[in-house]
Amino acid sequence: MRIIQIRKNIFLGRDLDRSDNASERWRTMLLVAFGQKKMFQNPIPAFLHLAIYAAFVVTQIELIEILIDGVSGYHRIFMPYLGGFYTFLISFIEILSVLAFVATFAFLARRNMLKVPRLVKSELNGWPKLDANLILIFEIVLISFIFMMNGADEVLYNMGLAHANGVDGQTGSYGFAISQYVGPALFGGMSEAGLIIVERVGWWGHIMMVFLFLNYLPYSKHFHVVLAFPNVYYSNLEEKGRFTNMESVTNEVKLMLDPSAVAHADPSEGSAAPQRFGAKDVQDLTWKNLLDAYSCTECGRCSDACPANQTGKLLSPRKIMMDTRDRIEEVGKNIKKHGADYDDGKSLFGSYITDEEIWACTTCNACVQECPVNIDPLDIIMELRRYSVMEESKMPSELTGMLTNIENNGAPWQFSQASRLNWKDEN
């Protein structure tokens, strides 16, 4: 139900066609989302993230076996069919799990002890900080259950008491890379009954943590593990710095500049007049903007690269995305409770994001460049600016003179077109 609600919330946004250039989109998704290409601009956190990411992907193999074991009543059902490769596979999973275990503690330390600046900003106070810590704690507990299961099972096998499929009564060792040492060290002195309890607690704990994680995921910023792939696939493939024009406004300008077009214009043709210039609330943004908001993992790389943010301005691209997501959630709940026409008197622009924030942006695209999953905060900022200028006639005083000059002189300077070349006559 939660996933269905998120989908409904995303499609509150305006329509946008991103079905072009499928081959380039697949390539971008494989490199950026699956291959983690942009993460490696900063090697240390990239390696730590890769350890958790790889462990998450590869351990799904062991999870499949656990699920089949639970349904069939067997234990380690793949073992007799895979032979030595099974030992290699579980050993590989264990090594990745250890790396993920270390990386998880490193991430906890970065947030709570080292207090890396981009991870302790004010927008992360409250639930965002708790959410980030919870998922890391879940990871530690999950890995601990894996080694409880494998370690106790290893000791049982050494005693000829393992109940794995095809090894009943055998003695020796599974030979798993980590648990063949960890198991005897931690559980070597326990009785058979105690070992079975530890092994069962590990098995059930593992699968219960997986189910808990899956149910928690749609309520967490970590839903990006699912949304990152479609979000990158539907990335804007245009060159950075190329802004969109409103089709209806462009058509009107073309008609004004082309008298013959005016004479033959058919009001039934062309795009309908927009309900609003720019964006005041989330429904005025595109569905891709809203997908961006749900895909944000609040890592802060965008804000860390933002020159406005680094010079003390109020703007934080991460906050823009978090505010957008919070507003989508609020609007979605209002629609569900009161109907589509309900107006709560709030809006994204004004209630969540201020004038000072959007006009602090230099439109340099640093935030877009840095985002590991190609989120585009700048597009939202520009739509909010467009609304502010075109609907509310509000802009910083520094821009008023420039826009007046453009309107009157066709250029930002206070010179008429006829006077532009006078400088060449000055000697």
Q: Quick: pLDDT tens for 398-410.
A: 888 888 888 888 8
| DSSP per residue, 345-380 | S--IIIIIB-HHHHHH-----HHHHH-TT---HHHH
| Domain residue limits, the chain | 35-233, 248-411
- Sequence-separated (6 or more) residues with CB below 8 Å from residue 16: 286, 287, 288
pLDDT at 300: 92
Cα 348 from Cα 384, distance rounded (Å): 9
Looking at 35-44, 293-302, 343-352, 379-388, which range is the least confident one?
A: 35-44
pLDDT at 3: 93
Tell me the pLDDT of the chain averaged across its residues.
88
pLDDT score of 315 more than 50: yes
Q: Quick: pLDDT tens for 244-288.
A: 777 777 777 777 777 676 544 454 454 455 568 899 999 999 999
pLDDT at 386: 92
Task: Answer whether 290's CB lies under 8 Å from 10's CB.
Answer: yes
Instruction: Count CB-CB contacts under 10 A for residue 397.
Output: 6
Cα 32 from Cα 228, distance rounded (Å): 9
- Sequence-separated (6 or more) residues with CB below 8 Å from residue 398: none
DSSP state of 14: B
Q: Which residue, 229, 221, 232, 230, is CA-closest to 374?
A: 232
Q: Which residue, 303, 94, 55, is CA-closest to 183?
A: 94
Cα 195 from Cα 200, distance rounded (Å): 8
Q: Quick: pLDDT tens for 113-160.
A: 999 999 999 999 999 999 999 999 999 999 999 999 999 999 988 888
Give percent above pLDDT 70 in the chain. 93
Third-level CATH fold of 248-411? Fumarate Reductase Iron-sulfur Protein; Chain B, domain 2 (1.10.1060)
